[in-house]
Chain A
């Protein structure tokens, strides 16, 4: 690997002193052969020790515990918004196929998946904070407020638990613009898939039979159409969560939210390897968890999966 954590972390003066470089290498176990370094890491992992960050000089686990909740809040709101808006717009577009509203929604969906997240974040920040002054600025809460007593790390939940409603309102306000920016891509993605899934189901025999029985349109839509269309929608929603995590790096950097995306960026640029691996582990675990949830949901939605 051409990049070296030593050059990335030590200043010019420290680099010219071989004693300091050797001490840094020994301190972080970089003087041992790679397989030995890996085994040491795995050994630590078994004890719940992810190593010490070379930048913050704190255990990676402590860093992650501080930064992960902020991203959970952001990605959680974004995925809920995406699911509600993406599925609703997709259903409307499918039901109004080839009408003006369908064309406009499809165009909006395409713009959603085509817009650069970092640019949209900047634009939203400029427009809503700087020009219109309807949204708060960067960070997780207003700068003159102090964080609520930590229980979960989620400022919204912690503030509500402590009854600090002004902090709660500030946390929610600070969450809205970045969450909406983050959701733009996934709304577009879910809308496109929902539209095609619903269109496919609309032509199937069981839907036609339900209509022929004289069931009201709303019942046909919720019990027959949406239920059948949900399997592909849930699959895409699971995949969309991955792109949401990608987006957090860019959105958190524009809105200066101290989350896992920012942490990943800082540790990648300084080649803080224990921190990078910590982020990789957390993100990998989230992926596995999301896939598990999606698999369980298949069974809940589709009895055929459950019975087989």
Chain B
């Protein structure tokens, strides 16, 4: 109870709690899938296209594999890859954006024009072209999403660095003889991490949607990998058996929703204006 009272107000709202619980539940499923899954996700030893019922709660697919076990194992494919993807795009985009904001001039111009180039295309189309050019595989799909995901971080980080760069404490550090790198690391970075983290949390959902979308189009995970987007695609061939596509899709939806709830909460908690509004309402 005491811990609950200490939580910031934004984290005590129902959506925040629901988001945190759902994200935690999926992380547990991803870690403990071998213990939780009732069947081997790749074994083709069950009756084909059996409707959901006792024994196989999510039914079986056209090759006689248990859909529930595949959805559970799918969490081990989709969630870590999505998290890795977001961390990498945050690091690459953040670093490039920070350099663009801090050094300005031709470095900044060069980086930002490159970002604009990516922004000029719809994400799915550009990611699709990159994935197809690299060759269809899950690793290449991750790389393709990375190509379209980093510019958002670069743009946000650059804007934030531009705002902080001229502040007195940064200037005084430089006057004391800090190197550019030290000034960026010690003075600038701690002041811009909040908004970038919010963007990253909200981006987890977008990245998962894009990654599974590429797999759905056949440009990502290859069979028999239990990747959720590819599982939805396999349901297209067996339209009568609704459960083959429905459950993996629901898995994507719940993970994306959970991280969007968390992202919204994080944004509200870190933005002083909304945090105050929540507090006023709570009082």
Chain B residue at minimum C-beta to C-beta distance from A254:
B236
Partner of B205, one of A114, A118, A249, A284: A114
Q: Quick check: is A82 within 8 A (CB to CB) of the other chain?
A: no
Q: Quick check: is A242 within 8 A (CB to CB) of the other chain?
A: yes
Flag B178-220 by CB within 8 Å of A: 1 or 0 each. 0000000000000000000000000001000100110011110
Chain B residues, Cβ within 8 Å of A242: 122-123
CA distance A253 to B124 in the complex (A): 13
Q: Quick check: is B252 within 8 A (CB to CB) of the other chain?
A: yes
Chain B residues, Cβ within 8 Å of A253: 217
Chain B residues, Cβ within 8 Å of A268: 125, 128-129, 131-133, 219
Binds B, one of A18-26, A35-43, A119-127, A225-233: A119-127
Interface set, chain B 121-177, CB cutoff 8 A to A? 121-125, 128-129, 131-136
B135/A2 in contact, CB under 8 A: yes
A276/B232 in contact, CB under 8 A: no
CA distance A21 to B124 in the complex (A): 31
Chain B residues, Cβ within 8 Å of A265: 128, 217
A123/B246 in contact, CB under 8 A: yes
Interface size on A, residues (CB 8 A): 40
Chain B residues, Cβ within 8 Å of A126: 239, 242
A122/B217 in contact, CB under 8 A: no
Partner of B235, one of A98, A110, A122, A261: A122
Chain A residues, Cβ within 8 Å of B242: 126
Flag A269-297 by CB within 8 Å of B: 1 or 0 each. 10100001001100110010000000000
Q: Quick check: is B111 within 8 A (CB to CB) of the other chain?
A: no
Chain A residues, Cβ within 8 Å of B256: 114-116
Distance to closest chain B CB from A108 (angstroms): 12
Residues A122 and B245 in contact in the complex (CB < 8 Å), given A110-B257, A253-B217, A271-B133:
yes
Distance to closest chain A CB from B148 (angstroms): 10
Residues A269 and B219 in contact in the complex (CB < 8 Å), given A110-B260, A111-B253:
yes
Chain B residue at minimum C-beta to C-beta distance from A110:
B260
Interface set, chain A 214-254, CB cutoff 8 A to B? 242-243, 245-247, 249-250, 253-254
Chain A residue at minimum C-beta to C-beta distance from B233:
A118
Interface size on B, as a range, is: 35 or more
A246/B125 in contact, CB under 8 A: yes
Instruction: Tell me whether chain B's interface is mostly helix, strand or loop, or mixed.
Output: helix
Residues A249 and B245 in contact in the complex (CB < 8 Å), given A3-B133, A269-B218, A269-B219:
no
Q: Quick check: is A165 within 8 A (CB to CB) of the other chain?
A: no
Interface set, chain A 150-186, CB cutoff 8 A to B? none
Most buried by B among A113, A114, A279: A114
Q: Quick check: is B2 within 8 A (CB to CB) of the other chain?
A: no
Chain A residues, Cβ within 8 Å of B260: 110, 113-114
Partner of A283, one of B125, B235, B257: B125
Q: Quick check: is B120 within 8 A (CB to CB) of the other chain?
A: yes
A123/B249 in contact, CB under 8 A: yes
Distance to closest chain A CB from B221 (angstroms): 14
Distance to closest chain B CB from A114 (angstroms): 4
Residues A119 and B257 in contact in the complex (CB < 8 Å), given A3-B135, A249-B125, A265-B128:
no
Q: Quick check: is B281 within 8 A (CB to CB) of the other chain?
A: yes
Distance to closest chain B CB from A229 (angstroms): 17
CA distance A154 to B15 in the complex (A): 43
Flag B231-248 by CB within 8 Å of A: 1 or 0 each. 011011001001001101
Most buried by B among A246, A249, A280, A283: A246
Q: Quick check: is B261 within 8 A (CB to CB) of the other chain?
A: yes
Distance to closest chain B CB from A298 (angstroms): 19
A119/B232 in contact, CB under 8 A: yes
Chain B residue at minimum C-beta to C-beta distance from A250:
B213
Distance to closest chain B CB from A117 (angstroms): 7
B213/A118 in contact, CB under 8 A: yes
B216/A249 in contact, CB under 8 A: no
Partner of A249, one of B124, B134, B236: B124
**A interface residues with partner B (beta carbon < 8 Å):** 1-3, 98, 107, 110-111, 113-120, 122-123, 126, 130, 242-243, 245-247, 249-250, 253-254, 261, 264-265, 268-269, 271, 276, 279-280, 283-284, 287
Q: What 6 new A-B contacts, CB under 8 Å, besides A107-B15, A250-B216, A283-B122?
A: A116-B249, A119-B248, A122-B245, A246-B123, A264-B129, A268-B133
20 contacts between A and B (CB under 8 A): A2-B135, A110-B264, A111-B253, A113-B260, A116-B229, A116-B232, A116-B253, A118-B216, A118-B229, A119-B253, A120-B249, A130-B239, A243-B122, A246-B124, A249-B125, A249-B128, A250-B124, A265-B217, A271-B132, A276-B129
